[in-house]
């Protein structure tokens, strides 16, 4: 039993050593490039969010003014239809 465990451990150590030697080492500036990419993406995505919020604001403004002027027109029509001709002129 002890011999099998020792043999397995030696084989595991050899496999770990082979794998560690075969790994490709990252460049020195890899961390800098990754952080630069993350910062660039975050800046670009923030600009996209701001531009999307302007369109509904303009649409809401037109909606509010449209309802306001429609109410004014309906009020004028109601006053004109219910009032005397003498009081309008």
How far, in Å, CA of 63 to CA of 85, rounded?
A: 33
- The answer to whether the CB of 80 falls within 8 A of the CB of 88 is yes
Q: Identify the H or E element spanning 83.
A: none
How far, in Å, CA of 56 to CA of 49, rounded?
A: 12
Residue with tokens 């027109």: 73
How far, in Å, CA of 69 to CA of 29, rounded?
A: 62
Residue 87 pLDDT grade (very low, low, confident, very high; cuts 50, 70, 90): low
Q: pLDDT, tens digit, for every residue of 30-68?
A: 888 888 998 888 888 765 555 556 667 777 888 899 999
How far, in Å, CA of 25 to CA of 79, rounded?
A: 84
The pLDDT of residue 65 is: 92
How far, in Å, CA of 51 to CA of 58, rounded?
A: 12
Q: Where are the domains of the chain?
A: 2-88
């Amino acid at each position: 039993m002890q011999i099998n465990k020792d043999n397995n451990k030696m084989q595991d150590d050899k496999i770990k050593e082979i794998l560690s030697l075969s790994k490709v080492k990252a460049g020195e500036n890899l961390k800098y490039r990754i952080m630069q990419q993350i910062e660039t993406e975050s800046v670009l995505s923030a600009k996209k969010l701001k531009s999307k919020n302007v369109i509904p604001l303009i649409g809401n403004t037109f909606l509010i003014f449209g309802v306001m002027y429609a109410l004014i027109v309906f009020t004028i029509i109601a006053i004109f239809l219910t009032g005397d001709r003498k009081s309008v002129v």
